[in-house]
A and B are shown apart, each in its own frame.
Chain A
Amino acid sequence: MRWGGVVSFFASEHAMRAERLLQRAGLPARLVPGPREVSPNCGVAVAFVWEQEPEVEQTLNDAKVRFEAIHHFDLDDGLAAAGAAR
């Protein structure tokens, strides 16, 4: 499985909650050390499968979890697309 997407956050508390909510919604998600290219804000980010980006965004918005941005980012290859997707 290629993750392909990363959500960045202002606070690690929100990254923890996001990972939990996405997993409870049946969406693969895992906490990763936040890539510096994505955000310097908090130590961790949440990786997800890029093809599920609409569901990921919807789930986080429905639960009112604050996030900084959603990025098309391959953890191995770096940013796949310039800038943030959202």
Chain B
Amino acid sequence: MSGDIYLDNAATSWPKPPAVLEAMQEFLATAGGGPGRAGHHRSIASSRVVSLARESLAELLGAESPDELVFTKNATEALNLAILGLAAGVDRIVTTSLEHNSVMRPLRALEQDGRCAVDVVYADGRTGEVDLDEWAARVRAPGRCLAVAVHACNVTGVLLPVETMAAIAADARVPLVVDAAQSAGHVTLTVASLGAAAVAMPGHKGLLGPMGTGVLYLAPGVEIEPLLRGGTGSRSESEYQPEFPPDRYESGTLNAIGIAGLGAAADYLRSLGVEQVEARLDALARRFRDGVGDIEGITVHGPPDPTHTVGITSLNVDGVPCATVARLLDDEWGVMTRAGLHCSPAAHRSLGTAPEGTLRFSWSHTTTEEEIDVAVEAVRTIAARERRPEPARTVA
């Protein structure tokens, strides 16, 4: 192996800003008490860290109040909380064909339990186009409905028109849950004006925080059943769950050390500007796409114009299993990518890349041009060396 080039930021971002590590070390060294659990100074120090992080994230995401943000352990928990909560009493859930299993599995479980039907509207993984007439028709159909849509596809990075989809849903008085797993921190997102009932995101991808952190935005007035019930440090005299946010949704001791890191990451992103991150991701996308554009024997997926693809590009080397290409890239060049279906079987069916999947390259704003160039030349070498013609068919 000759290098250490991390191009799997769509799974989890690396490296984190140095301030994230510093905040986590500082938390353990000087705070360390149970957040919201007592009045002694270590508990208060811990509570302050959590509160400041919530405030910084509210600023970053454009929430009207920090109370609209719930800390979770990841985007999956945030999505489960939102979907299972908002699905109470609905007949149908309308979603898209580009969803990750963190959406599809809760939806299919609800369907299997006979609690509601699931309507999947086709979305084009290459262009991000959704048939908005079909989306509107399904959302407006009789009965009580919930809508769920991914903001950016985790296979191609293409963005869906969630603002328009949210407006259609709002017009039909249908709550919309947005999965911002790949877009948060990568594109400017103002949750207060998006019009969605809920927006779920991980803390450890584009938001640059540590693993074990996630955030759910719940719009003002949205009240749902919590996933967990238990101690909150508030209303201790009562055996019933508090009604007020954020305590209603945050039972059990929070991952305050992780939240300390996430808060520092939010401060970093506010200082840098998400639009700067987006511009950098786009510049690297153009460089990567230009670089692989003249390689014979590969298929690049996603939109022809790689602008606004949140730092993700998927490709296949024709005739070579993508897992083999991933192994060669890591073994020989130290280039880390992710091969396969990326927990998004429906998205791969939409792209026509199931069951083999694709090889996903995903960079961050700190990835260098040189690293992109090494990855491009490595793909060129593998394509020239490993590509096999389609095997001849044996006719009996």
Contacts and interface: CB of A to CB of B under 8 A. Distances in A.
B39 A32 contact: yes
Interface residues of A, number: 20
Main secondary structure of the interface of A (DSSP, over half): mixed
A66 B40 contact: no
Interface string A18-41: 001000000000011110000011
Contacts of B246: 11, 13
Given A17-B51, A31-B44, A12 B235 contact: no
B240 interface: no
Given A12-B233, A44-B44, A34 B39 contact: yes
A67 to B, nearest CB: 11
A69 interface: no
A72 to B, nearest CB: 20
Contacts of A16: 44, 47-48, 50-52
A20 B237 CA distance: 27
Nearest to B235: A41
A34 B37 CA distance: 11
A86 interface: no
A86 B244 CA distance: 20
Interface in A32-84: 32-34, 40-44, 64, 66
Contact of B234 (A11, A20, A31, A32): A11
Interface in B36-89: 36-40, 43-44, 47-48, 50-52, 54-55, 65-67
Given A12-B36, A12-B233, A44-B44, A20 B244 contact: no
B2 interface: no
Given A10-B244, A12-B234, A13-B47, A33 B54 contact: no
Nearest to A63: B65
B236 to A, nearest CB: 7
Interface of A: 10-17, 20, 31-34, 40-44, 64, 66
Given A13-B47, A42-B233, A43-B36, 20 more contacts: A10-B247, A11-B234, A12-B35, A12-B233, A13-B67, A13-B246, A14-B67, A16-B48, A17-B66, A20-B51, A20-B52, A20-B55, A31-B44, A33-B38, A42-B234, A42-B235, A43-B38, A43-B39, A43-B43, A44-B39
